[in-house]
Amino acid sequence: MKRDLHVTDFQRRVYEAAKRIPRGKVTTYKLLAAAIGCGSSRAVGQALRRNPFAPAVPCHRVIRTDLTLGGFSGKVRGANIVRKKKLLEEEGIRFSGGRLADAGQVHRFGR
């Protein structure tokens, strides 16, 4: 990860954990927060919103705990969400009725 950008230690931890989400898998903001020892999935979402390292840090692979898409690039609807869904579909992630179709595609850290 480049060191010349202003990234906080917290953001760096979020980005390093996000890089461990394999292609074809997603995780939730809550699971990512737990993986770095943070109790706030919202804080993780805010760090991902500011991700300057995409696509090397695949923030599009993080979804809501209810297995819906959640946000992308600070937006929860519109072109950004269409783009997030397309990126995930290109990796084999499908949604049905607005929710992740296969819960087996959820990446759980440390397993």
Q: pLDDT band at residue 3, thresholds of 50, 70 and 90?
A: low
Global pTM value:
0.92
* pLDDT of 105 strictly over 60: yes
Q: pLDDT band at residue 14, thresholds of 50, 70 and 90?
A: very high
79 falls within a domain: yes
24 falls within a domain: yes
Element (H, E) at 17: helix 9-18
102 falls within a domain: no
Start-to-end CA span in the chain (Å): 24
88 falls within a domain: yes
Please, which residues bridge with residue 63 across strands? 28
111 falls within a domain: no
> Which pLDDT belongs to residue 73?
85
Catalytic residue annotation? 59
83 falls within a domain: yes
Structural domains in the chain (count):
1
> Which pLDDT belongs to residue 1?
53
DSSP state of 61: G
42 falls within a domain: yes
* pLDDT of 107 strictly over 80: yes
The CATH number for 86's domain is 1.10.10.10
- Dig out the tokens for 41 from the structure: 């999935």
Nearest to 35 by CA among 54, 63, 55, 15: 15
Q: What is the domain range of residue 20?
A: 9-94
